[in-house]
A = this chain, B = another copy of it.
Amino acid sequence: MSVCFSDRLTQRILATKSVTCVGLDPRRQSLPQGLQPGEGASVADWAAGFETFCTEIIDVVADKVPVVKPQAAFFEQLGPAGMQALHRVIQHAHNKGLLTILDGKRNDIGSTAEAYADAYLGAGEASVWGSDSLTVSPYLGADSLDPFVAQCDRRNAGVFVLVKTSNPGGGMLQDRSSEGQSVYQTVAAKVEEFSSTRRGECGFGPIGAVVGATYPEQLAELREKMPSAYILIPGFGAQGGGAQDVLAGFTSAGLGAVVNSSRHIIFAHRRPEYADKFGEANWQDAVAAATDEMNQQLACVFGQ
């Protein structure tokens, strides 16, 4: 990968005219009937179902969105068999030209953080899991982020650091303020520091931030404070954030952010408006329609 992550993401956004990130969060009880193994199925059977489900979603959205975000937890829930499925899902996304954000919220200190960075960062043959990027948690401090930043440099990979999360309780730590700066502002300053010296042609660097759609004011504030950082915005759709809430995360050119939706797209066949129209057997059509709908809802970001 000779092009830096932020430039690759920007190119994909411009090529697809989409800032949608499709979250691959497979859950047993929500899988389309045809992909649910029968009663007494093993975790390996479920892992096969997850893999088929995710690869078919990838096939549907590959030309519609720039990036997909597999959620590690749901694959880990199936044990080693689930991890194999995760690996193949990442590969399939790349084969279809999609970028990947592995949502693992990993981190540790020193050489252990190095191990995570080596494990996950770097598409193709560069790393064993082969993801373009990874979400990481900052609780352990700036030195815990260094190994990830170093690996981004080496392999043209990216990370998204948790800054302001979309859940109601996130403020317990993140909003704590001392000497006029909250914890999330401190993390954001670190993100900007990392990315500002690593900007690609697009003007953004490889160290991004996670900022929830459920906090539009902070999103605007953080857009301004991290001009060099891509922002991954979760909390759109099922979690309550709307198009107006995320607008502030973008530059006037419609860049600098991607908006994730998981359930609303991948389980669109369960939403009343699509269930009636397509039926569960045509769940892929519901995925396509829900993706198009979200792209349309967000098209306004390009014309700000």
Contact = CB atoms under 8 A, between A and B. Distances in A.
A77 B115 contact: yes
Contacts of A79: 83, 87, 119, 128-129
A289 interface: no
A106 interface: yes
Interface stretch (A11-19, A92-100, A174-182, A199-207): A174-182
Nearest to A187: B173
Interface in A78-108: 78-80, 82-84, 86-87, 103, 105-108
Interface in A107-132: 107-113, 115-116, 118-120, 128-129
Given A80-B84, A177-B178, A144 B119 contact: no
Interface string A188-231: 00100000000000000000000000000000000000000000
Nearest to A84: B80
Interface stretch (A68-76, A241-249, A268-276, A292-300): A68-76
A73 B108 contact: yes
A301 to B, nearest CB: 25
Main SS of chain A's interface residues? helix
A280 interface: no
Interface residues of A, number: 59
A107 B137 contact: yes
Task: List the number of copies, as a whole number.
Answer: 2
A137 to B, nearest CB: 5
A107 B187 CA distance: 18
B165 A186 contact: no
Most chain-B CB neighbours within 10 Å: which of A43, A111, A115, A174? Answer: A115
A22 to B, nearest CB: 16
B43 A128 contact: yes
A226 to B, nearest CB: 17
Interface of A: 25, 27, 43, 71, 73-74, 76-80, 82-84, 86-87, 103, 105-113, 115-116, 118-120, 128-129, 137-144, 162, 165-174, 176-178, 183, 186-187, 190
